[in-house]
Amino acid sequence: MAKQPFACGDCNAILPDGEGQCHVCPNSPVTTDWQGFVVILNPERSEVAKRLNITRPGNYALKVNIR
C-alpha cells in the first residue's frame, strides 16, 4: 500500500515524499488527512488556482483537514 504524502495546512501544497515540512510555510502544520488532488501548471491563467488562492505551480490538495 502506498504511503499518503503530507499536505500543508496553510497553502494546501502536497509535499514531496519523505518531507514533513512545507518550504513555503515552514511554521504551518502538515497532515496526511487531505482530499482531492489538483495540478496547477500556470496559476496566472487558471480559474481553479484563482479560486484556491494558489500563486505557484505545483500539486495541491483541494481540502486539508487540520484538527
C-alpha cell belonging to residue 14:
502536497
Q: What percent of the chain has pLDDT over 70?
A: 97
Instruction: Label residue 2 by pLDDT band (50, 70, 90).
Output: low
C-alpha cell belonging to residue 12:
494546501
Q: What is the pLDDT of residue 3?
A: 81
The average pLDDT across 47-59 equals: 95
pTM over 0.85: yes
All structural domains of the chain with their residue ranges: 7-64
Q: Give pLDDT tens digits for 17-46.
A: 888 899 999 999 999 999 999 999 999 999
Q: What is the pLDDT of residue 9?
A: 95
Q: Which residue spans within the chain are E strands per DSSP?
A: 7-8, 30-31, 34-35, 38-40, 58-60, 63-64
CATH number of 7-64: 2.20.28.90
